Amino acid sequence: MKRSLSGIQPSGVLHLGNYFGALKQFVDMQNNYEGLYFIADYHSLTSQINPEILRKQSINIVMDYIAAGLDPKKSTIFLQSSVPLHTELMWILSNLTPMALLERGHAYKDKIAKGVKPNVGLFNYPVLMASDILIYDTDLVPVGKDQKQHIEFTRDFATRFNEFYDKEIFKLPDALILDTVATVVGTDGDKMSKSYGNIINMYVPEKELKKQVMSIVTDSTPLEKPKNPDNNITKLYSLFSTEKELNIMKEKFLAGNYGYGHAKKELLERILDYFKEQRETRFKLENNLDYVNKILKEGSYRANEIASKKMKEVREVVGLIGGNLWKNIF
C-alpha cells in the first residue's frame, strides 16, 4: 500500500481552509493509503508562538484530526516534535540546498509582503517540510494549491541528494491537489490563513462561529439593489452547495432585495449542518484527553520506527557514524 503524509501547524483551531484544502483529503484517502498525519509544531516556531498556547493548540489539532474523521486504526497521528529525526535530516539536506532556490519560495515572499517579520526558520521552512516528507518514503502528499511549490522543492532536494551520493536513498513524492477546493478564501477575500486573521473555525462554539461568518467583507450596495454574485459569501457557500444551489443564491443577488446578511445566515446554516457530527465528536474528545494522549503515544512509536530506519540509511551514505553507534531501539 502506498504511503500518504501531511501535516498542519498548531497555530489555532482548524479552519475551513485547512479542512477543504487538506484535511478532507486525509480522511478520503485513509482507506486506500497508509496515512501518516502530524501536527507540525516545529514549523509553528517560525511564528514565535507562546509556549503555553503551543502546548494547548497541539492537542487541539489532534482532536480536530479525529473529529474530522481520521481513524487512528487506519492512520498514524503524531506530533512532529516527537520525532526529532526530522530536524537531523533537515540539517543534512540544508548542506545541499542552494540559497537561490529558497529565495524563490512563494510562501516566504508572500508572508514578507504581508508584513510577517522574517527569520531563518521561515526561510528554511521548505527544507524542514522536505525532511518531514522524505524521512517516511512518502508516495503522495495531499496539500493545498499554495503548497505545490514545496513539493516541487522536496523532489528537487531528494534528486540532489540521490545524485550527489550516487545512491537512490529518497523516493520522489507526488502532490495531490483538488483544484476545486485547493485554496479557500478568507473573510476578507484573501487566502484563508490564521496569520492573516481572516479565518472561519468550524469547531468553535456556535456564537463565535456566527461572529466569524458575519465578519465576511462585502461592499456597501443597498439591500434593494442588484449585487455582484461572485462575492466572498458565494465563494464560501460553494463549498457546501451543489452547483444548482449556488446558482440560486447568485440569482438572488442579481435580482436585488437580497442582502448580504441574508446570505451570511444561509452560509452559517450550511456550515453548522455539514459539521454537525464532527462538532459533537470534538466536544466529547475534550472530555477524554487520556484517549487523545494514547493516540499520540501510539502514533509517535510508529513514526519513529519508520523514520529511524531511513535515517540509518542516510547516515551511512553521508558518512556520519555517531548516530548509528547508538543501539537501534526499533
Name the grid cell of 158: 531528494
Active site residue 294: no
Name the grid cell of 232: 466572498
Q: State how far the alpha carbon of 172 is from the alpha carbons of 192, 258, 275, 306, in Å.
A: 29, 51, 35, 17
Active site residue 191: yes
The residues, ordered by sequence, that sit 6+ positions from 56 with a Cβ below 8 Å of its Cβ are: none
Q: Which one from 24, 145, 171, 191 is the annotated catalytic residue?
A: 191
Active site residue 73: no
Q: Which one from 194, 227, 252, 264 is the annotated catalytic residue?
A: 194
Q: Is 175 helix (H, G, I), strand (E, B) or coil?
A: strand
Q: What is the DSSP letter of 31?
A: T
The DSSP H or E segment spanning 3 is strand 3-8
Q: Is 178 helix (H, G, I), strand (E, B) or coil?
A: coil
Main-chain dihedrals φ then ψ at residue 88, nearest 5 degrees: -65, -45
Q: State how far the alpha carbon of 194 is from the alpha carbons of 84, 111, 236, 308, in Å.
A: 26, 12, 17, 33
Q: Which one from 111, 227, 250, 310 is the annotated catalytic residue?
A: 111
Q: Is 79 helix (H, G, I), strand (E, B) or coil?
A: strand
Gyration radius from the chain CA atoms: 21
Give catalytic residues, as residue numbers.
111, 191, 194
